Amino acid sequence: MYKDLERVPALVAERGLALGAPLTCRDETASTNDDAKRAAKEGAPAGSLFLAESQTAGRGRMGRTWLSARGENLLFSLVVRPNCPPSRVPPLALVAGLAVRDAVAKVVGEGEVKVKWPNDVLVRGKKIAGVLVESTVVGSRVDAVIVGIGVNVLSRDLPEAIASIATSVALELPAGAPPPDRAAILVDVLAGLDRDLGHVAARGLGLVHARLGRADALRGRRVAGELGAGTAEGVDTDGRLLVRDDAGVLHRWSSGEVTLAPRRA
C-alpha cells in the first residue's frame, strides 16, 4: 500500500463508518471486484473493503477493461449485504454513482460534476470515475452486492486515446493547488455509501431522488441506446432513465449502454 492510503483505517474508525473494514490492500490484483466477490462467497463480512494499487484485469461493463497507472488512482470494491429483495438491488447502482459524485465534487467544486446514468461520474463532460456493481442472487435471497469503484485521482498524463474523454481530480484542480488526498476521497465515498445504501435498499430511491435529479448529466440531452433514441427527461423513482422519443412517447430504460449526442450548436 502506498503511504498516502495508510490513514484509511484510522479515518474509517474516526468517522464511525460501517463500511471500510476489514481492509485488504494489494499492490496488484486481477480485479478488486473479483477479490471482493470471492471473499463474499467465503463469508467476508459486510463492509469488507478490497483495494489495489493496480489491476491487471480491471473490468467495466460486460468485460470491458479499465486501465489505471499504479498508485495514481483509487481502485476498490466493497462487500455489501443488504437485507432486501432482489428487486431493490438495481437502484443501489445509482447510489454508488452519487456517492462518488459527491466525494469528487467536494474536492473539485460542485459546479460541473454530474452523473451520467446510471453511474458514470463526469466533470465538464469528461469521465472521472466509473462504477461496476455486481450482485449474487440465490433463489429469492440477495447473497452479496459488490460495489466496484475506480476514480482517476492523481493521473496527470492520461493516455492520448482517452485524454479527450477522461479526466482526473488532479487535472480539475487549479494550477498550483496541492495534490488531491486519495485517502480523504476514498473515505468520503465510503461515508456517502454508508449513509444511503441502507435506506435505498429498504425503501427505494425516494430520499435520494432529488439529488439524482440535480446531478443528472443527461437531462434535456439527446441520447441513444440499444432501445432507441430520444431526449432524456430524468430518472424515475425505480432508477430507470426516462427517454421521450421523437413521437412524444415516454420510455423507461432499465438497462443497456446510453450514449450522449454532441450538444447542438
Dihedral in degrees, nearest 10, Cα atoms 69, 70, 74, 78: 120
The whole-angstrom separation of Cα 132 and Cα 197 is: 15
CB of 77 to another protein, least distance (A): 13
Least distance in angstroms from the C-beta of 65 to another protein: 10
Cβ-based nearer residue to another protein, 137 or 261: 137
- Nearest distance from residue 138's CB to another protein, in Å? 5
In the bound state with another protein, the residue whose beta carbon lies nearer, of 12 and 84, is 84
Radius of gyration of the chain (CA): 18
Residues 6+ apart with CB under 8 A from 63: none
Query: Is the separation of the CB atoms in 98 and 196 below 8 Å?
Result: yes
With beta carbons less than 8 A apart as the criterion, state whether 170 and 182 touch.
no
What residues make contact with another protein under the rule CB under 8 A? 41, 61-64, 85-87, 89-94, 117-119, 131-140, 143, 239-240, 254-256
Residue nearer to another protein on the CB measure, 9 or 90: 90
Give min distance, CB of 259 to another protein, in A: 14
CB of 223 to another protein, least distance (A): 15
> Nearer Cβ to another protein, position 4 or 233?
233
| 133/15 Cα distance (integer angstroms) | 24
Q: What is the largest CA-CA distance in the chain?
A: 56
Q: For another protein, give the closer residue by CB, 91 or 192.
A: 91
